[in-house]
Amino acid sequence: MMSRRHLRRGVLSAGIALATLVALTLTGCTPGSGATPDTTSDPNRTVETDVSKMGNLTLTVWDQEVRGGQNEQMTQLNKAFEEKYPNITVKRNSQSFDDLGKTLRLALSGDDAPDVVQANNARNSMGSFVKAGQLEPLDPWSKAYNWEDRFSESVLKYSRYSQDGKTFGSGSIYGLPQVGEVVGVFYSKKKLAEIGVTLPSDWAGFEAALTQAKSAGTTPLLLGNIEKWPAVHVFGQVQGATVDSSVIQKLGFGNPGASWKTPENEKAAQTLSTWQEEGYFNEGVNGTDYDAAWQKLTRGEGAFLIGGSWLASDLEDAMGDDAGFFAPPVTAGEGAHTTGGTGLPFTITKASKNPDLAAAYIDFITNEDAMKVLADTGNLPVVNTQNYAPESGVQRDVFSTFDSVTTRGELLPYLDYATPTFGDTLGEAIQGLLDGQLDAKAFTEKLESDYAEFTAAQ
């Protein structure tokens, strides 16, 4: 044990050390780079589209396509690109979604930034990179390659930002996605037949089916929400059927001019809360794992599961032809208005020395041949989805749902895109709503304060 004298000396030297630290830090320089956004990018610049004329070049690509089919398509496409243009070497660096999200900030602000990076659409990633002037607006190449004809506007919106990064969903194109995602309803065909429910064709029919399942003694809706975000997709589905899509788009993209405090939004929240009160969900949703919930569907422990198309392959593995997928539209026969989006778009960094090459690469991995490769490797191609649909099974349902939503319905943004903090705000509020801690009014008020604070500061 230290004697008192030693202790005092220890405290003294600690004090000196601390003072040195503070002195050191105060004299240090300001963190961050003062890169002024280059707003002079000429949208009509001449674009070189012939890669074979570009000479021997290396293209550095950072992607997050690490899972089975994703990795396979990327490998195939890169190989095809190098074979078509022997003068080009593609240097690929792939990391998981989480890792990429964390390293991209540093990579983009460093001197040795990659040419092409896959950046999350959300405001706290792509939005802040655009704001910091680190991504190239793709307008000149979009014209040269006719990207606006290739992609439906409902999809392109997801990678449009104004050049100051303030408006999301319109403005310049900053990236192109390869794949699509759509949130809908999974079900077990056997289970529905067992409880005498026919597949609903519209939203009212879906709500009636839930009631019918409940009275048949089956859990109507399966949900695992310990992670906070799964219920956001359930809410998105309800909101899409209740609230005007243009309002949801403003709210979801975090653009000003809308409000959470509307009777329609409150009604959507009330629906979710009523479902919970009437026991439509499995017990203890806030304490159930996301994975545990869809596994319940495979065991016939419930009728429906609201979830994203990414669950299809797991469900198909477990259930085979028993699994089905649909998105109920408000009016039968139309396309649904539902949450969905795209895979992470491929973007070009401002630091890239060969933006023409980078653009040619992005064009190559999103063209018609690429979509075929994507479908063959078990991904959901974002363009002309219906053409690549498999013969049968839940994947076929997913392909046709995505197609009908993007062409005849409306793909609505993930609500957590709205503000950098919105994912947390919404996730926590929804847990509160499902627990009865918040009523529909308090729920919308909570969301409004985050949204309003953000849009006011823009």
Partner 1 sequence: MQSSPRRSKRELKPPERPGGRSSSRYSARQGRRITPYLYILPAFLVYGVFMLYPLARSVHLSLFDWDGLTLATYVGFDNYVDVLNDERLRAAFGNALTFVFFYAVLPVCIGLVLAAVLTRARVRGLSIFRTIVFLPQVIAMVVVAIAWRQIYAPDGSLNTLLRAIGLGDLARPWLGDYTFSLPAVGIIGTWVSTGLVTVLLMAGMAKIPVEQFEAARLDGAGPVREFFAIILPSVRAEITVALTLTIVASLKTFDLIYVTTRGGPGSSTTVPSYEVYRRAFEQGQVGSAAAVGVTLTVLIFVISLVVNKIGDRSSS
Choice from 67, 92, 131, 267 touching partner 1 (CB under 8 A): 131
Nearer to partner 1, 28 or 86 (CB): 28
Cα separation, 44 vs 125, in Å, equals 27
- Let me know: does 394 contact 323? Beta carbons within 8 Å: yes
Binding letters toward partner 1, positions 33-72, x by CB under 8 A: xxx-------------------------------------
Query: In sequence order, what are the residues at sequence separation of 6 or more whose Cβ sits closer than 8 angstroms to the Cβ of residue 363?
Result: 49, 141, 145, 147, 176
Smallest distance from partner 1 to CB 167, Å: 18
Does 124 bind partner 1 (CB under 8 A)? Our answer is yes
Smallest distance from partner 1 to CB 417, Å: 13
Nearer to partner 1, 376 or 428 (CB): 428
Reading the block at residue 103, the tokens are 């390293």
Choice from 48, 72, 82, 227 touching partner 1 (CB under 8 A): 227
Within 384-423, which residues bind partner 1 (CB under 8 A)?
Answer: 420-421, 423
How far are the Cα atoms of 70, 370, 379, 390 from residue 376, in angstroms, in the given order? Answer: 11, 10, 7, 9
Buried b (16+ CB within 10 A) or exposed e, 202-231: bbeebbebbebbbeeebbbbbbbbeebbbb
Nearer to partner 1, 150 or 228 (CB): 228
Nearer to partner 1, 104 or 398 (CB): 104
Smallest distance from partner 1 to CB 420, Å: 5
Among candidate residues 329, 335, 317, 313, the one with its CA nearest the CA of residue 400: 335
| Span interacting with partner 1, options 22-30, 142-150, 166-174, 359-367, rule CB under 8 A | 22-30
- How many residues touch partner 1 (CB under 8 A)? 51
Does 228 bind partner 1 (CB under 8 A)? Our answer is yes
Does 427 bind partner 1 (CB under 8 A)? Our answer is yes
Does 424 bind partner 1 (CB under 8 A)? Our answer is yes
Reading the block at residue 401, the tokens are 């749902």
Choice from 5, 24, 391, 457 touching partner 1 (CB under 8 A): 24
Query: In sequence order, what are the residues at sequence separation of 6 or more whose Cβ sits closer than 8 angstroms to the Cβ of residue 189?
Result: 321, 322, 323, 324
- Let me know: does 81 contact 178? Beta carbons within 8 Å: no
Reading the block at residue 230, the tokens are 């799964």
Cα torsion 82, 85, 89, 95 to 10°: value is -50
Smallest distance from partner 1 to CB 397, Å: 29
Choice from 41, 76, 94, 109 touching partner 1 (CB under 8 A): 109
Smallest distance from partner 1 to CB 283, Å: 6
| Span interacting with partner 1, options 27-35, 232-240, 345-353, 365-373, rule CB under 8 A | 27-35
| Span interacting with partner 1, options 82-90, 257-265, 279-287, 309-317, rule CB under 8 A | 279-287
Smallest distance from partner 1 to CB 228, Å: 5
Choice from 92, 105, 166, 189 touching partner 1 (CB under 8 A): 105
Cα separation, 415 vs 421, in Å, equals 11
Does 455 bind partner 1 (CB under 8 A)? Our answer is no
Question: What φ, ψ does residue 115 adopt, rounded to 5°?
Answer: -80, -50
Does 129 bind partner 1 (CB under 8 A)? Our answer is yes
Question: Angle of helix 312-319 relative to helix 394-407, nearest 10 degrees?
Answer: 150
Nearer to partner 1, 108 or 336 (CB): 108
Choice from 142, 172, 288, 404 touching partner 1 (CB under 8 A): 288
- Let me know: does 138 contact 392? Beta carbons within 8 Å: no
How far are the Cα atoms of 22, 66, 184, 405, 457 from residue 311, in angstroms, in the given order? Answer: 51, 17, 10, 18, 37
Does 435 bind partner 1 (CB under 8 A)? Our answer is yes
| Span interacting with partner 1, options 123-131, 304-312, 380-388, 403-411, rule CB under 8 A | 123-131
Within 134-173, which residues bind partner 1 (CB under 8 A)?
Answer: 134
Residues facing residue 62 across a β-bridge: 93, 117
Within 315-354, which residues bind partner 1 (CB under 8 A)?
Answer: none
- Let me know: does 248 contact 339? Beta carbons within 8 Å: no
Question: What φ, ψ does residue 304 adopt, rounded to 5°?
Answer: -125, 160
CA atoms lying within 13 Å on the CB side of residue 454: 29
From its phi and psi, is residue 343 left (phi > 0), alpha (psi between -120 and 50) or beta?
Answer: beta
Smallest distance from partner 1 to CB 166, Å: 14
Cα torsion 150, 153, 156, 162 to 10°: value is 130
List contacts with partner 1 (CB under 8 A).
1-2, 7, 17, 21-22, 24-26, 28, 30-35, 101-102, 105, 108-109, 124, 128-129, 131-132, 134, 225-228, 282-289, 292, 420-421, 423-424, 427-429, 431-432, 435, 437
